[in-house]
Structure 1
Amino acid sequence: MNSAALLAKVDQLPRLPKAIAELLDIVNRDDATVKVVSEKLSHDPVLSARVLRLANSARFGCSREVGSIDDAVVRLGMQTLRTLVIASAVVGAVPKVQGIDLGDFWGNTFEVAIVCQELAKRMGTLPDEAFTGGILHSIGELLIVSSEPEAAANINAAVADGADRNLMERELLGYDAAEIGSLLAQNWKFTPALVKGIQFQDSPKNCEPFSKLAGMLAMSKKVVSDWDKIGDDERTSWLAQISEMAGIKVDLSGLAQKLTKLHGQGMDMGKQLA
């Protein structure tokens, strides 16, 4: 990592609006109540609308539509609402970027987040943190396109010709998307474990001490990118291979069937938010 190049970007990173930062502080408290969260959300109608759209998405929706934050808590529970608030806040805090279909971008991002959450459940780690890591994992890509559009175009062209994206980013910028994304997560005061997971998502075995989140992100990204290329009968053995490559041990029983059911739900969530 070129530390000088990375540190030079610090002042250009987007800041969380004060109201959203305060809301994240509230939902991350173990003693947060429905009343307090609902009251705080009521001051931000745009964020409230995003949370409700997510609550009514295919992943969480049922026969009766959720019409209020209180209803969302009753249906989803405080833990899930916390996840939706964080997801909605992150999407709202990142500026729109020319030349990127944000529906597709966030759809793919949420696909990774949902897979990562499922892996966390099977590894006995925190599903909420895994989901949050998933929605933050690709933010560095947006930051590079928005702040270095010419370099981003050159990187994309080189990747189209077969070059490695991470190597090209480091060669032309002095850092890669994962590094700048982890710096943003740190500035937004997410946990050190989450920051580390994002930083090492492309090379989890290089992280010392080992980051399970980095391994889960690496495996989740591979699942999302290649799922449709793998035959139904081959998926369990393939999942075993990529989990080993990511350096993590996952309970594989029924995982292929579960991921098949989850497939596409992240795209729906991304479209709801973009």
Structure 2
Amino acid sequence: MLYQISGEGFWVGCRPCRLTIQEASEGIVELKNLIDNAQKLPNIPKVVQELIESFGDENVNNEAIAKKVGADQVLTAKLLRAANSAHYGGNRKVGSVSDAVFILGFNAVRTLVLASGMTGAFKAPEGFDLPAFWHNSFAVAATCKWLAKFSKDDAETAFTCGMIHNIGELLIHILLPEECKEIQKVVDRGARNSDIEKNVLGFNFPEAGAELANRWKFPDAIVAGIRYQLNPLAAPEFSRFAALISIADYIVHTHEKGNDADLLVHFPNDLATKLGINMVKLAEKIDETNDLMGGFDELIH
């Protein structure tokens, strides 16, 4: 299917769509300037920002951060609900942030607090299904973490990448709600969302998400994972986390469509090979991907 921007409108194939712009150049929004001048950028709690900056810091003070998390009642409540869920075993009662750090480990607690902070930072734009958005985000995140067992990548970093892989889509809906409505009209006719965004706005949701992650001071590996998720092999330097996101997204969408029988038939083996995944071992465990969401729905509400 062909896409074309003209002075008279936006065309899909040979049919004009309702997305009208004066000139192609006027339809391109400078992403960095948009974010710089935005009045509606989501704010994340200071302790969440500190947790982001703790990635890769060998000298991070776990006790100090746990104390700060404990001072935030909303974050603590969400953390404890998730920590006591079936996903994390549920065999021992987690009654405090310190308990969670001791039982689950600092990295797992950091992941849960980041998830709690992120879900609380965004307000739903008009007409945007925020619970469904986060449900998909956590499904991809949990699948990224599962895949990391086979690729030998850091599981919690993989989860974080999956959790915010789609954050650019939400950001675009917040900052450009009217444009999103028009873009959706074209997407409803069968166009690929990221292609339309790129043509109309000058950027797409992975680029928007990567820019926001960069502003929030996420590590470069996570920023690259978000930016190159649509085509990891085309990245200037291969991003392992982009590949994990891409595979996880494929698995989640295949399950959602009810095409489980074809899951391994169309599996992105090129990415799996690049990651060093043993496909025989993965295939033996692939049914586990049907039920990875336990506990994460607690973070959505």
TM-score where L is the length of structure 2: 0.80
Higher helix share: 1
Structure 1 residue 130 displacement after superposition: 1.1
In structure 2, distance between residues paired with 1:247 and 1:141? 29
Q: Is the 8 A contact 2:214 2:223 kept in 1?
A: yes
User: Quick check: 1:266 aligned with 2:290?
Assistant: no
Equivalent residue letter for 2:96: S
For structure 1, the residue ranges without an aligned partner over 5 or more in a row are none
> For 1:32-90, what per-residue CA distance to the aligned partner results, in whole angstroms no more than 9, with x for missing partners?
45532321112211111121122123311424442211222232122211221222222
1:120-269 map, 5 Å: 120-227=148-255, 228-232=257-261, 234-239=262-267, 242-244=268-270, 248-249=274-275, 250-256=277-283, 258-266=285-293, 268-269=295-296
Count of matched residue positions in the alignment of Structure 1 and Structure 2: 270
Equivalent residue letter for 1:180: A
Equivalent residue letter for 1:251: N
Q: Is the 8 A contact 1:115 1:259 kept in 2?
A: no
Q: Is the 8 A contact 1:109 1:135 kept in 2?
A: yes
C-alpha spacing 1:248/1:270, structure 2 compared with 1 (3 Å)? farther
Match of 2:32 in 1: 7
Q: Which aligned runs of 4 or more in structure 1 are off by greater than 6 angstroms?
A: none
Equivalent residue letter for 2:293: G
Give the number of the structure whose alpha-carbon radius of gyration is greater.
2
Q: Is the 8 A contact 2:142 2:162 kept in 1?
A: yes
User: RMSD of aligned C-alpha atoms?
Assistant: 2.5
